[in-house]
């Protein structure tokens, strides 16, 4: 009986931790986008979000709820370590402090989202030379057959 109880407790803990809320923060200047998920898979929709500015742990800078996709965004007024509290009011709550760097501008953000130039160059050359090889093989074979 005791063993079964322990097993159930471990199982419950495993299930609960599997549904813990994870936060990822993306810089989208001038906004910061907070994405919330359950264990990195399903979004956490309509969860309550509290945002605390650096150095002001007791006063909410902003509050609100995530949208149906588990996304919440706000515009920070300073850089530093911002604290986020996400609570879905169904037993899942996460508190995280995440650094926000305001010196990163929109152009830098856009560049980081794109494929780097060197990678594009290597990809293009690989495709061109690869297709050349394939076409050469095909034409050589065709040429041998006709002779």
Partner 1 sequence: MHIADGILSTGLCVAAYAVSLPAVYALGRRIEPEEVTRMGLLSAVTFVVSLIHFPLAGTSIHLGLYGLVGILLGRRAFPVIFATLLFQALLFQHGGLLSLGVNSFNMGAGSLLGWAVWRMPGLPDAGKAVSAGFLGVMIPALLMAAEFSFSGYGKGFYYVSAIYLVAATIEGALTAAAVAYFRRVKPEIFAFSQA
Q: How far is the CB of 146 from partner 1 (least distance, A)?
A: 11
Near partner 1 by CB under 8 A: residue from 1, 5, 143, 146: 143
Which 8-state DSSP code applies to residue 101? -
Q: Which is nearer to partner 1, 3 or 114 (CB)?
A: 114
Determine the Cα–Cα distance for residues 144 and 133; give it in Å rounded to an integer: 16
Determine the Cα–Cα distance for residues 80 and 118; give it in Å rounded to an integer: 32
Site for partner 1 in 115-134 (CB under 8 A): 115, 117, 120-121, 123-125, 127-129, 131-133
Binding span for partner 1 by CB under 8 A among 6-14, 92-100, 103-111, 113-121: 113-121
Q: How far is the CB of 27 from partner 1 (least distance, A)?
A: 23
- Count Cβ neighbours within 10 Å for each residue of 16-45 and write b for 16 or more, e otherwise: eeebebbbebebebeebebbbbbeeeebbe
């Amino acid at each position: 009986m005791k063993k079964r109880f322990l097993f159930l407790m471990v199982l419950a803990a495993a299930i609960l931790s599997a549904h813990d809320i994870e936060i990822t923060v993306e810089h989208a200047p001038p906004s910061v986008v907070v994405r919330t998920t359950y264990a990195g898979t399903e979004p956490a929709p309509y969860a309550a979000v509290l945002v605390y500015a650096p150095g002001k742990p007791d006063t909410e800078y902003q509050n609100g709820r995530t949208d149906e996709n588990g996304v919440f965004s706000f515009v920070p007024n300073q850089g530093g370590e911002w604290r986020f509290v996400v609570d879905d009011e169904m037993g899942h709550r996460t508190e995280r402090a995440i650094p926000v760097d305001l010196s990163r501008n929109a152009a830098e953000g856009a560049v980081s989202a794109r494929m780097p130039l060197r990678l594009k160059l290597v990809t293009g050359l690989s495709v061109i030379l690869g297709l050349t090889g394939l076409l050469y093989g095909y034409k050589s074979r065709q040429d041998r057959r006709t002779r």
